[in-house]
Chains A and B, each alone.
Chain A
């Protein structure tokens, strides 16, 4: 187990949101229609805002003088603790929506439960985030149904996205000793209690979208040690180049 499980856990929460927020921001100026361009930029802003709060709290908990920017910009890929699902490249719009939907359903349940955290600061951040998460989930679930139950072309693309992304959902509920230690002291929820609720939500929306759920994915915990797909490094290179090339720059 890491020396400081709460720090480790806050990195996981913060990194998921930072990485997905960055991915969604890549659509800014490239959205298929103006309303969606604006929607994804808004959702991105929510996630990056949450990441800022969570990584800021992580820095305080760590107590080594690192702030949210230091943790976001000056760590290497091997030190990132996000789920591989959120680092997958955007692909087409069906792919982006499917990735968001799978994460949003998980995120909504997680932050809803974190409102009861024994850690008051974490509970406060979650109380704010849960309202945002509900909007995100409504957005992505409605679009997934529109694509799946849309034209032959949109159905095909949504099914391909689901087939490709499903394998990355196996890590979402793979609890390790950090999760278990914090759950025992009431700081975080028991992931195994959230999983069936997530599965029911996903099954319902996928059925309404007339899509087919792929077979169960492998459950991996490697990302907890910093294992990532090749895509994270490219994302971080773009996200971190400015503060690394010009330390302390402000604008």
Chain B
């Protein structure tokens, strides 16, 4: 029977992000804490984006997984502060993203809302490593990704936006 928050976090390593199934919700940095009391546990998670449709699936997975490990009562609490940042994604997880074909985020910088005529920072291609890439759109297949194109290997690819 798991007894402490570390055990809970270890168990939750098996819960993957449903939209990026190579990294766990712990690696993604959205599990903010766990409190264990006997066979009862409360897990705090924070959303990546306000409208992230994966949050409900993740909550259900957390409950099912912890119940399968012997907890009788599992509650999931959504916390908003501090707001999630991609800086919480660990180095191992960044390598996994790259291998999966998604360029990992750089450091989350100050968000500048209006930058007319700027040159978009280039993301290294996760397939061939080339820096000769171009941004197609700051919005991609999910809220957390943007669209890019590699001029060297002619592959479109996605980038995990730094926020």
Contact = CB atoms under 8 A, between A and B. Distances in A.
Contact of A124 (B79, B140, B147): B79
Contacts of B49: 45-46, 49, 128, 132
A105 B113 CA distance: 9
Contacts, number: 96
B139 A139 contact: yes
Interface residues of A, number: 41
Given A38-B140, A130-B111, A52 B84 contact: no
Contacts of B136: 35
B80 A50 contact: no
A64 B162 CA distance: 40
A2 B158 CA distance: 48
Contact of A49 (B50, B83, B112): B50
Contact of A137 (B47, B114, B161): B114
A43 B47 CA distance: 16
B106 interface: no
A124 B50 contact: no
Given A35-B137, A127-B83, A135-B139, 11 more contacts: A50-B50, A53-B80, A105-B113, A120-B81, A123-B81, A127-B82, A132-B49, A133-B113, A137-B113, A145-B117, A201-B114
Interface of B: 47, 49-53, 79-84, 111-117, 136-141, 143, 147, 161, 163
